[in-house]
Amino acid sequence: MPKTPFYITTAIDYPNAKPHIGHAYEKIVADMIARWHTLQGEDVFFLTGTDEHGQKIEKAAKEAGKTPKHFVDDMSAHFQKLCTALTLSNNAFIRTTDKKHVKTAIEILKKVNSKDNVYFGTYEGLYCTGCESFKTEKELKNGLCPDHLKAPEHVKEESYFFKLSKFHQQIKQHIEQHPEFIRPESKRNEILQRLQEPLQDLSISRANFTWGIPVPKEITTTASTKKHIIYVWFDALLNYISGIAYPTKKFQKYWNNAHHLIGKDIAWFHTVIWPAILLAAEVPLPKTVYCHGFLTVDGQKMSKTLGNVVDPMAVIEKYGTDPLRYTLLRDVPAGQDGDFSEKTLIARNNSELADALGNLLQRTTVLIQKNFHGNIPVCGTLTEKEKSLEKSIPDLQELNTLMEKYQWHHVVEKVWNYINACNKYCNDTEPWKQTNDPERLATILYTLVEHLRMISILTWPVTPASAEKIACQIGQPLGKLKDAKFAKKTKGTLAQAQILFKKIEQKTVSPSLLAIAKTTGQQPTVNSFAMLNLKVARIEKVENHPNADKLYVLTLDAGERKQIVAGVKQFYKPEELLSKQIVFISNLKPAQLRGVESQGMMLAAEKEGVVRVLEAPNAKPGEQVFVEGITPAAQQITIEDFQKVTITTKDKKAAYNGKPLQTKTGTIYVDIADGAKIK
């Protein structure tokens, strides 16, 4: 049977400056999606590239003392190097100066024109060179472009127009009838709201600069005597079909299952203008346009214009590719904004990559080399501990469903919960103490190797280089998703143990990674709330503390089983707490409280002797609690660290610095008066 085609694209990057961490983020997410579908056995085509025409490029080239072509050749090379450094699996890198793209752009414009969808006229409006687009008064904030914080120019010029208005109802109907076309749902609702107003026809040519694809003479013969070039957005969007050789069999193969991954700021172009162009050219629409959030620095959008840019090549050179990939995929919730933090990257590398994944491989390899001459031992009788660990293997159908819904960060979380379960199994079975029972030792070590084999598969879309090293070290091929199930007859010889991830010394933010002070005068700061990793948990069991009259011992479902000690006995009966969806600190250092271990702390608000717990009734156990613009930490903290954070209540919501605590399903609720302190 032929493989199912799957086509994934990023937005093509504007190379008027070197790439920043936001470019890396989008490419890493797209690569995870591409690799996941490859693991499913699909025929994947992954396209990325650069958008090389327009007034902004012409201006940047002039400032650099270069011709536009020389300038984009140099700058595009930086983006191609980034793709290599990120270990992307892209099949092609499209440039809009490529001859095949220029040919496609001209062909499509001719076709759109032949269907009576183009006319000549005069345009007058506000033009933002940074966005390469006209702006309405409604789109401006205090008269400024919200993305570039500059006032647009008032422009009046002759232009060729595309009859965008003609396709208004058809586009609106398509969005309404295909919920998967625009994701996440919040962006879909926003676009539908904008479509309540009539669409204006789109200016698709420029005559006040020259760097672009000329409007074909078949269109210009009866109109302007000026030389017009194709508007950069009409030109750029066509890369998605020129990159797969429109209109050949290759295009026909992949386009039927096309998916675009883009930044939320260009959603209108991709969900309204792009569909209209395709409809006018009689080309089917893509399946999905997914709009991801921005990376921020101290809550501010990261951009070259504002100057708060992090250089991804410097991050990779200093820390490696997989730690960067893992941190961005784990830290930034799908469809939402998130901070990039060097401190968080170090913490995640040391805790979740080096300690959890790397140490698991190291311990297993060393013990097999020592006790079985490097050969995978024969599996003996499986006990309840092995069977329990097998149940922790992530459900593949659930993972596939999450990926189909573009919830990649939850997939990463579930895979690392599984890795943590493997470490717990290793600690509980203590294979280093089983040398007097060779069969039991063999079974434990076989179990660990077998789970490492599955881990190599499941981590490949996230940290591909280390996943391949794991497979190589345990002497196994890198399998497909269907192979991620426990087998009792795996054979092979392990290579000598090697360190998978090196520990990184915790330091302050490196100046080499940031370019902030030159243009904004800002310096990176550490946010106290960022120390907290708050999660939702469902209370499954409420028991009296055996050694303290005022304490409960709570058993929680937080995506994994947790036990905490809570001092709320005088305020809640057991039945009042049972099944509540509460918020707890998941990264608090475990502590013995009156002889019982507490693996976190439940948050509650207190005012004038009244205490109420924080609740998230609509969230799922294990769901992240966050404040917009602040990335949760990974490293453990102490109760003293938590006491430095001030969280209060307003309008029955928990808030930090005026911003609500929330999950992806809503804000955190607490039934208490305003101004209560949360402890």
Label residues 258-295 b or e (16+ Cβ within 10 Å = b): bbbbbbbebbebbbbbbbbbbbbbebebbbbbbbbbbb
What's the rounded Cα separation, in Å, for the pair 447 and 490? 10
What's the rounded Cα separation, in Å, for the pair 36 and 406? 11
Three-class SS of residue 643?
coil
> Which amino acid does the sequence have at 638?
T
> Which amino acid does the sequence have at 430?
E
Cα end-to-end span (Å), the chain? 59
> Which amino acid does the sequence have at 2?
P
341, 631 in Cβ contact below 8 A?
yes
> Which amino acid does the sequence have at 550?
K
**Distances, alpha carbon 286 to alpha carbons 72, 179, 381, in Å:** 29, 13, 51
Three-class SS of residue 584?
strand
CA angle 404, 408, 413 (to 5 degrees): 130
Kindly state the DSSP code that residue 2 receives in the 8-state scheme: P
Alpha helices by DSSP H, 134-248: 168-177, 185-194, 217-220, 232-237, 239-242
Residue 20: how many CA atoms within 13 Å on its side-chain side? 22
What is the pairing mode between strands 648-650 and 653-656? antiparallel
**Distances, alpha carbon 338 to alpha carbons 226, 334, 368, 439, in Å:** 46, 9, 41, 49
449, 376 in Cβ contact below 8 A?
yes
List all residues 6 or more positions away from 365 whose beta carbon is below 8 Å from its beta carbon.
Answer: 473, 474, 494, 495, 496, 497
Question: Smallest Cα–Cα separation from 423: which of 351, 371, 481?
Answer: 351
Phi, psi torsion values for 496, nearest 5 degrees: -60, 145
* Catalytic positions, written as ranges: 20, 23, 128, 131, 145, 148, 301, 304
